[in-house]
Structure 1
Amino acid sequence: MVMVLKTVSRVVRVSTTDRFQLVNITREVESFVKESGVCNGLLVVSVPHATASIIVNENEPGLLQDIIEKVKWITEPGSSKWLHNSIDDNAHAHIGSALFGHERVFPINDCRILKGIWQDIFLLEMDGPRSERKIVLTILGE
């Protein structure tokens, strides 16, 4: 038996309004998976920017603010000494992206993303506001 895998991709664009911000993209991602027709495979959610990340966590307002505050706490101390800031004053965002990662991978089973009930998918903006952030969704499956 020969299994034929297909690849489906989409770019989602979002705008951000704050220097640090979490944007919930779960609905867009779930819609893409449903529309793809892929019922078993892998989904990659990636942000092709060096100053943003993709994270997964609970969509609770207090927790989201806690995450933002911790990201600032991790990336901003000593920012006056970051060498990259002599170019464009966003070394903290590059460091955050390097630490938190630009992508997440999810299994797809029974035509749905396998994730925890409390897990949502977020763009973590660390160098906003930005008029457009691209998020690349790619599925490989059957």
Structure 2
Amino acid sequence: MKSTLLSVTTGRRDTVHDITGECAEFVSGEGDGLLHVFVPHATAGIAIIELGAGSDDDLLAALADLLPSDDRWRHAHGSRGHGRSHVLPGLVPPYASVPVLGGRLALGTWQSVALVDINVDNPERNVRLSFLPA
């Protein structure tokens, strides 16, 4: 298995960060197999979603509605509403798998791979890419 760790700076606000290019570069020339994308954090997720046409903003708006940044959360260390970040992986899982055919991601026409991060207390993230050859 081939594996690498990406470092991603997400900043201090809710974000959907496109990592499709890094994923494509990682599997380039590898033949057929499976790319597994995993974020080893308790407060972030991986989404396969259309980006750049408003869907990323819609996802963040939906997450803000479902997981408001207020004082309702029992997990209450960090900034106000931090506990919502620990619920995020229940809605946006910390992993995704993408088929790879001929060294290329077999995503749909409008699909991208994105890191979803609503934890404003941790602007530095890691993403593990693992390629399993066929």
Query: TM-score by structure 2 length?
Result: 0.90
Per-residue displacement from partner, 1:46-84 (whole Å, max 9, x unpaired)? 10001110001111242221111101111117x422211
Q: 1:44 aligns with which of 36, 39, 42?
A: 36
Counterpart among 52, 67, 73 of residue 65 in structure 2: 73
Percent of residue pairs bearing the same amino acid type: 29
| CA apart distance, 1:19 | 2.6
Question: Which structure's CA Rg is the greater one?
Answer: 1
> Which residue of 1 is the match for residue 12 of structure 2?
18
Query: Contact 2:15–2:118 (CA<8 Å) still a contact in 1?
Result: yes
Aligned-CA RMSD value: 1.6
2:126 equivalent to 1:137 = no
Residue 82 of structure 1 is matched in structure 2 by 73
List runs of 5+ in structure 1 lacking aligned partners: 1-6
Q: In 1, distance between residues paired with 2:55 and 2:5? A: 28
Deviations 1:9-58 (A, max 9, x none): 01111101233101111101100111xx4211111011000111000111
Whole-angstrom CA distance in 1 between matches of 2:53 and 2:120: 19
Matched AA of 2:20: T
Unpaired runs of 5+ residues, structure 2, are none
Mapped pair 1:104 → 2:96: yes
Partner of 1:4: none
Larger % of helix: which?
A: 1
- Look up the equivalent residue of 1:74 and give its one-letter code: L
TM-superposed CA distance for 1:88, in Å, is 3.0
Q: 1:54 and 2:46 equivalent?
A: yes
Runs of 4 or more, structure 1, over 3 Å off, are none
